[in-house]
Amino acid sequence: MKYTLLLLTVGTIIFFVTTSVCATTIERIEKTDEEWKAILTPDQYVITRKKGTEPPFSGAYWNLHEKGTYVCVCCGAVIFSSKEKFDSGSGWPSFWATVKDAPIATKLDSSFGMERTEVLCARCDAHLGHLFSDGPPPTGMRYCINSAALNFIAEEE
């Protein structure tokens, strides 16, 4: 399977590299639809496995301001940190960068008569949301992510 991996480092140029994701680079998690249905809620399943989208301002994390880490709801891969979260006004959790070495893949999404960049977990192929180039400095990127595609792990104080 070919993906465009987004390699993002704060303070540097953004590079897009097309590569094949293989088991030697990322520990892949593969399950049948029935196995995913057994471990995910119906909303989580539709959003992550069937490329659904939750309504804006409805998810658990769009207005969460606690410190912590956001992980893929399907496989537990660490994807985002609250340090890179910002209020985009969109109604979905938004981040200007991923954590370092996050297993993120991007793919052209031409659904609904528009072209967008889909964001996937490269470890389990979960649909997380979309990536836009209208975010704040230093990257100018906005990861617009479904709350149902994430679990939040609060930072211990």
Q: What is the CATH number of the domain that holds 49?
A: 2.170.150.20
Domain total of the chain: 1
Q: What is the 3-state secondary structure (H, E, C) of 29-49?
A: CCCCHHHHHHHCCHHHHHHHH
Tell me if 44 is assigned to some domain.
yes
pTM of the model: 0.83
pLDDT tens by residue, 103-120: 999 999 998 899 999 999
Say if residues 106 and 2 touch (Cβ distance below 8 Å).
no
- Let me know if residue 24 belongs to a domain: no
Q: Which domain holds residue 137?
A: 2-19+32-154
Identify the CA nearest to 55 among candidates 147, 122, 128, 152: 147
- Residue 114: inside a domain, yes or no? yes
Domain assignment present for residue 25? The answer is no
User: So what's the pLDDT on residue 16?
Assistant: 38
Query: For the segment 45-100, what is each residue's pLDDT rounded down to a tens digit?
Result: 999 999 999 999 999 999 999 999 999 999 999 999 999 999 999 999 999 999 99
> Can 22 be counted among the known catalytic residues?
no
Bridge partners (DSSP) listed for residue 70: 80, 152
pLDDT tens for residues 126-149? 999 999 999 999 999 999 999 999
* Residue 22 counted as an annotated binding residue: no
Catalytic residue among 144, 148, 149, 150: 144
74 is in an annotated binding site: no
Residue 96: inside a domain: yes
Residue 37 lies in a domain: yes
